[in-house]
Amino acid sequence: MLIAPIAWGAIIHVPGDQPTIQAGIDASSDGDTVLVADGTYTGDGNKNLDFKGKIIEVRSENGPASTIIDCENDGLGFYFHSGEGKVSVVDGFTITNGSGKEARGGGGIFCIDSAPTITNNIITGNTTDHNGGGIYCYQSEPRYPSPVITNNTITGNKASHGGDGGGNACYQSSPGIANNIIMENSGSGKGAMRGGGGS
């Protein structure tokens, strides 16, 4: 699956130029790349990460084994809700210990009214009280194109309290899901994956 490249822009280094991932996002403009150095990122500014509708790429320097977003069971990794499209990209992180407590779910990544690209990540050890322990895509259709979820490892996530889709859940959304490893996730409702309302 081909993803259109973002036009050339500035590279904002975290923590070189900005102290947290969210600070890097906030300092960016459309077309920029937020490039995150190796390390484990915790605390405020490194969870509930919000692109705020920007056409940017947030990626690690050396891949998910080296760059970890640890939500410490207090928030989720990324929250897309401002109409982001396929050229808003998350690339190359481990996202772990996310806790999706929003009414609709999403432990690691929650997408509502948006369709970003989520690629080359390890999404593991996240939980939600609702749907989509790893990733939850909600209501992208018909206003936005489908999210792209490709080349990720989605494992060991859980949707509890009757939630559906321990690994990935979709409602009124039809993401392009390709070349992922999705295993050993659990949902107390409808198992590892769930789709409905257009998925």
Instruction: State pLDDT tens for residues 148-183.
Output: 999 999 999 988 754 444 444 454 445 567 898 988
Contacts of 69 (CB under 8 A, 6+ apart): 21, 41, 46, 47, 49, 77, 93, 94, 95, 96
Asked whether 18 and 27 are in contact (CB, 8 A), the reply is: yes
> How many structural domains comprise the chain?
1
| Domain carrying residue 37 | 11-196
Q: Is residue 106 part of a domain?
A: yes
Q: Is residue 1 part of a domain?
A: no
Q: Is residue 59 part of a domain?
A: yes
Nearest Cα to 14, choosing from 41, 45, 35? 35
Please write the tens of the pLDDT for every residue from 95-130.
Answer: 999 997 655 567 899 988 899 999 999 999 998 877
Q: Is residue 6 part of a domain?
A: no
User: Is it the case that residue 144 has pLDDT exceeding 70?
Assistant: no
Q: Is residue 28 part of a domain?
A: yes
Q: Is residue 3 part of a domain?
A: no
Q: Is residue 186 part of a domain?
A: yes
State the amino acid at position 130 in one-letter form. H
Q: Is residue 4 part of a domain?
A: no
